[in-house]
Every structure is written in structure tokens, then in C-alpha cells.
Amino acid sequence: MKQWTAIIVTLLLFACASAPVLAQNNERYKAIRLDENSVFILDTEEGHLWLWGIGEGRGNDVRSILRYEGKLKPGRQMGDVLEMSSVRKKKLF
């Protein structure tokens, strides 16, 4: 009986220890819908950023684009300003 208890406790500890790793694999990419035609995609592990969108092409064609926006830089504390630049609103298409 003590052997079965030890085996069950060991399996439960292993399951609890591996749960965060399994959750991280499913949470790597975050998608944020900006409007009806574009989505902002964030790689939460490495900080890469993409913008994906659809729009009208020539005639009745629908055009899709995936544009790499860069990589996030870590700061020392919350609220750090790493770079300042003027931002102009660009159309995706």
C-alpha cells in the first residue's frame, strides 16, 4: 500500500511541475484585433511583433499581408522610455 501511495504522490508532483511548461507552449503568441481588417501579433517569449491585415487588391481580389514590425527591448523597470520617435499613422495597404 505504501508503494502505491508513493507512486501516486510522485505522479501528482510530476504533473504539477510540468503544468506551467505545457501552459507556456500554448500562450507564446498573442493576437490583438485592431479593427475588422488587421491583427497585431506578439511573440511573448522573444518579443517579436507583426501586423497582419487584409485589404482590397486589384479588381475583386483580396490581398493579405504580414509585416514584421520589430522586436521589443526590455527595460529596467516599468515605465522606462527606451526610445522616443515621432509616430505617423501609416495605412497597412
Instruction: Round the average pLDDT of the chain to a whole number and report it.
Output: 74
Q: What is the pTM of this model?
A: 0.53
Residue 78 inside a domain? The answer is: no
If residue 23 lies in a helix (H) or strand (E), which one and from where to where? helix 2-26
Write out pLDDT tens, residues 2-17: 565 556 545 555 555 5
Contact 52, 65 (CB under 8 A): yes
Residue 92 inside a domain? The answer is: no
Mean pLDDT, rounded, for 66-78: 85
Give the list of residues 6+ apart from residue 57 with CB closer than 8 angstroms, or none: 63
Report the DSSP beta bridge partners of residue 69.
none
Residue 79 inside a domain? The answer is: no
Number of independent structural domains in the chain: 1
pLDDT at position 17: 55
Write out pLDDT tens, residues 18-54: 545 544 556 889 999 999 889 999 999 898 999 999 8
In this structure, the dihedral spanned by the alpha carbons of residues 79, 80, 81 and 87, taken in order and rounded to 10 degrees, is: -40
Boundaries of domain holding 15: 2-71
Enter the C-alpha cell of residue 19: 503544468
Enter the C-alpha cell of residue 33: 484585433
